Structure 1
Amino acid sequence: MTRPVNDTLLRALMREPTDYTPLWLMRQAGRYLPEYRASRATAGSFMDLCRNAAFATEVTLQPLDRFPLDAAILFSDILTVPDAMGLGLSFAEGEGPRFARPLRDEAAIRALEAAPMEKLDYVFNAVSSIRRALDNRVPLIGFSGSPFTLACYMIEGRGSDDFRHIKGLMYSRPDLLHHILDVNARSVTAYLNQQIEHGAQAVMVFDTWGGVLSGTAYREFSLAYMRRIVAGLKREHEGQRVPVVLFTKGGGQWLVDMADTGCDALGLDWTVDPAQARALVGSRVSLQGNMDPGSLMGSAEGVATEAQRVLEAFGPAPGHVFNLGHGISQHTPPENVATLVEVVHRHSRKLREAAGA
């Protein structure tokens, strides 16, 4: 495997010195870009975009053609895995994802089996296609949802404000929830390994809903299964290290536990103080984040000020990947993203030069 011409992201994830802080954005290919909206209209639906390698490649590269970002991230969705388990995924306009057959009774839960990887070939084909199209410009990041986050959708049947069904199951029949999480962990491990085999050069696990748990429940029902995934992943492919990033939204209080999984980097949401995070985990892992996505709704001057503040909070030491604290909003002005990328690259170089880094 040929290393990317711009390998700054991979070096930063492995805590190696870089000339500047690399930058990519969660949901960087998405509805805030007019070219994405045009592609989606042509494709017909969100899942049609995901299931067609040519469309998935097209929209993955759109933000890279606009902005000098330091990585591409596979265009897909975290719910492809439970969809492959036969739960009947659909996306209603304005309502988000929903499953036709949520897991609500013991028989359905006991019958649940790991996702057949052949049903996810369209994802792996997209990974291969994107890698070819990138032509080693920048690294490609693969991803999956965490076992717990996937279980939230699989049990609730859709997004939730109170998570009453999954929490009801957790506190009444933890054995059944553990079965779902075990199936999910095995599926996610195989899924990410296949992405690596097809060309993903780093992978990320999105634990979007782990932060709704108590500390005890988080360690038992979320972190334990992410630890299993990290242990089961291919950490080298074709002679190169494949970094693994864990991100629990709302999980800043568990950073030490997360670092103990053996991952290479931790994603931080915007509620976490970068200096405190670094003090907690030391140099064991890189840190990714953590600008508030809402700050991109302000003026260009406000975007620049906030980006500089985040960079200065992390400091010039190795091991920082700039990102938002969660996904970019569909309402974000693209010109503010252009400002962000330019400021992050320029100001991080300035900070390193001043520190002699």
Structure 2
Amino acid sequence: MIKNDLFLKALKGETVERPPVWMMRQAGRYLPDFMKLKEKYDFFTRCRTPELATEITVMPIEQVGTDAAILFSDILVVPQAMQIDVQMKPGLGPWIPNPIRSQKELDQVIVPDVNEELGYVYDAIKMTKQALNDEIPLIGFAGSPWTILCYVVQGQGSKNFDKAKELCFTQPQIAHSLLQKITDTTIAYLKGKVKAGVDAIQLFDSWGGMLSPTDYQKFSWQYMQQIIDALKNDIPVIAFGKGCWFALREMSQSGASALGVDWTCSAQNARYLSGGNITLQGNFDPSRLFSPPKDIKKMVHQMIDEFGKDKYIVNLGHGILPNIPVENAKAFVDAVKEY
């Protein structure tokens, strides 16, 4: 039994004394101890070494005090397992030297044996669960198929993912085949995470908001839905689409346990658009963590008042920024605990 199960209660829609709190990218670059490890080990070494992944996952629990842990990993371990070369370049971010833009390149992409290719993730989950000692739940995650496609077709991060969209609109059959391969791999990968012991899953559709509502259904949501359908009877699933407020109604009928909301959508609109019955997660502007701690506390309390304390998980509207002072992150978490 998990001692602090506030997060799991909120996912079930149960009444709680206060909402749970965690932060996207909480195991990351704003923590000085993380930066020390970063100097020693490159990015994917940290992802692939269970001992390091465990240490990084547990760091914010000890230092900031969140109600849930999220496994330290990356959404791009999935395309790596599919035989797509993915590198992490300092100052640039993800770099794919041979982007997938033709049938010939698509033919090289495999649906892998996840235990063979991603076993290190499952080892990290088991090790992290031991380290957490049933104090709080552990979240596993994956990127949405559309978000993964954006990187592997574009070749790197982008403001508009124009090459990814061009592929979808000029060679839709290649795009859909690639999306299906990513979906099949992701389902197998996440089922492995469930088996390894995670308590919930979050799907990150970081670039969903790049698409129009019609194209979103076509190139993103239908694949997210396949993943939710495959997992929803085994584990709570949180669906987070950045910039996807227009799809909240559809998402609320998907079988997901909760929906993530970014900071551009008000609590009132999010409740209205999602039909008012599903647990929502969000949506503090990550840049607002630069505000003085006393202002952060006031804004957090206001945010909880607007969402309501039940069927609500306090979080940021996207990942925490690398240059946020640790005490400000702590003020955010403490504000929720003091509510």
Same fold (TM over 0.5): yes
1:92 aligns with 2:98: no
- What does 1:182-221 align with in structure 2 at a 5 Å threshold? 182-221=180-219
Q: Give the C-alpha shift of residue 162 in structure 1.
A: 2.3
Q: Which deviates more, 156-165 or 197-206?
A: 156-165
Q: Indicate the residue corresponding to 2:221 in structure 1.
A: 223
Q: Indicate the residue corresponding to 2:105 in structure 1.
A: 108
8 A contact 1:81–1:115 mirrored in 2:
no
Cα distance in 2 for residues equivalent to 1:56 and 1:76:
7
8 A contact 1:255–1:281 mirrored in 2:
yes
Q: Give the C-alpha shift of residue 67 in structure 1.
A: 2.1
Cα distance in 1 for residues equivalent to 2:146 and 2:57:
26
1:273 aligns with 2:263: no
8 A contact 2:7–2:67 mirrored in 1:
yes
Q: Indicate the residue corresponding to 1:355 in structure 2.
A: none
Q: Indicate the residue corresponding to 2:49 in structure 1.
A: 52
Q: Which amino acid in 1 is paired with 2:162?
A: R
Decide which of 141, 144, 166 is 2:164's aligned counterpart: 166
Decide which of 315, 318, 326 is 2:308's aligned counterpart: 315
Cα distance in 2 for residues equivalent to 1:46 and 1:273:
35
Cα distance in 2 for residues equivalent to 1:121 and 1:234:
23
Q: Which amino acid in 1 is paired with 2:165?
A: K
Q: Indicate the residue corresponding to 2:76 in structure 1.
A: 79
3-state SS of the aligned residue for 2:34?
Answer: helix
8 A contact 1:72–1:138 mirrored in 2:
yes
Q: Which deviates more, 262-271 or 307-316?
A: 307-316
Decide which of 254, 259, 270 is 1:261's aligned counterpart: 254
Q: Indicate the residue corresponding to 1:139 in structure 2.
A: 137
Unaligned runs of 5+ in 1: 237-241, 348-357
1:346 aligns with 2:312: no
3-state SS of the aligned residue for 1:6?
Answer: coil
Q: Indicate the residue corresponding to 1:305 in structure 2.
A: 298
| Percent identity between the two aligned chains | 38
Q: Which amino acid in 1 is paired with 2:5?
A: D
Q: Which amino acid in 1 is paired with 2:318?
A: H
Q: Indicate the residue corresponding to 2:154 in structure 1.
A: 156
8 A contact 1:85–1:116 mirrored in 2:
no
Q: Give the C-alpha shift of residue 33 in structure 1.
A: 0.5
Unaligned runs of 5+ in 2: none
Q: Which amino acid in 2 is paired with 1:61?
A: V
Per-residue CA deviation, residues 47-102 of structure 1 (Å, 9 max, x unaligned), is 11111000000010000011221000000000000011121111111110111221
Q: Which deviates more, 278-287 or 261-270?
A: 278-287
Alpha-carbon RMSD:
1.1
Cα distance in 2 for residues equivalent to 1:121 and 1:285:
33
Q: Indicate the residue corresponding to 1:21 in structure 2.
A: 19
Q: Give the C-alpha shift of residue 167 in structure 1.
A: 1.0
Q: Give the C-alpha shift of residue 307 in structure 1.
A: 0.9
Q: Indicate the residue corresponding to 2:320 in structure 1.
A: 328
Q: Give the C-alpha shift of residue 185 in structure 1.
A: 0.7
TM-score using structure 1 length = 0.92
Cα distance in 1 for residues equivalent to 2:98 and 2:83:
8
Cα distance in 1 for residues equivalent to 2:232 and 2:47:
24
3-state SS of the aligned residue for 2:169?
Answer: helix
8 A contact 1:295–1:302 mirrored in 2:
no
3-state SS of the aligned residue for 1:327?
Answer: coil
Per-residue CA deviation, residues 299-321 of structure 1 (Å, 9 max, x unaligned), is 112211221221111023x2100
Cα distance in 1 for residues equivalent to 2:331 and 2:251:
32
8 A contact 1:24–1:70 mirrored in 2:
yes
Cα distance in 1 for residues equivalent to 2:327 and 2:75:
28
8 A contact 2:83–2:108 mirrored in 1:
no
Q: Give the C-alpha shift of residue 277 in structure 1.
A: 1.4
3-state SS of the aligned residue for 1:122?
Answer: helix
3-state SS of the aligned residue for 1:143?
Answer: strand
8 A contact 2:251–2:274 mirrored in 1:
no
TM-score using structure 2 length = 0.97
Cα distance in 2 for residues equivalent to 1:174 and 1:198:
36
